[in-house]
Structure 1
């Protein structure tokens, strides 16, 4: 009799354990659970990508500093050297160029192709 009771209890415990396992797996496979898992994985991947980008940016800054030191770009400017020249990107149109001054008169020309002739 004791033997039958033992096996009955062991079978019932195994059934409860298996049912619990199956229910947990089924809950993990519901659409809501799958969506939550995918969202968590996406957030985790985003954090990893952000960390990678920050590492790359720090590495670039370090390498740029190394190259600046190697090329002497970060060295202090010598006081005996003249200041760096700055060139104007826009031409001064108030004064005519002496080279082409003989061709300049006060006539205005229209270069509009759509203008009636």
Structure 2
């Protein structure tokens, strides 16, 4: 009798375990789950790509400074900015060749026609 009970319990446990595994796998294969997995992998790939780009950028800066030192190009830490350009004057002086007075409008050819 003990033997039958043991095998019955072992079979029931194996059935529950197999059913649980199959249900989990079916839930993983639904379209929503597949889309979520793809999105997670894309996000992970983006993070890895960003980390790679940051590593490359820091390596480039380090190598550039090494080359600058080797070639004797010492860039100052605080480079001087170029001089600020003057803003354009709003009221420009009239050109000396302009004979027209300031209070009259220019001649309009369409007035005579």
Q: TM-score range by the shorter chain?
A: 0.5 to 0.7
State the TM-score, normalizing by the size of structure 1. 0.62
* Consecutive unaligned residues in structure 2, runs of 5 or more: 77-113
* Consecutive unaligned residues in structure 1, runs of 5 or more: 77-117
Q: Does 1:36 align with 2:36?
A: yes
2-structure distance, mates of 1:30, 1:72: 63
Work out the number of aligned pairs and report it: 76
Q: Does 1:47 align with 2:47?
A: yes
Partner SS state of residue 74, structure 1: coil
Q: What residue number does 2:11 align with?
A: 11
- 1:5 Cα shift? 1.2
RMSD: 1.3
Q: What residue number does 1:64 align with?
A: 64
Runs of 4+ in structure 1 over 6 Å off: none
1-structure distance, mates of 2:32, 2:26: 12
State the TM-score, normalizing by the size of structure 2. 0.64
Query: 1:98-117 maps to which residues of 2 (within 5 A)?
Result: none
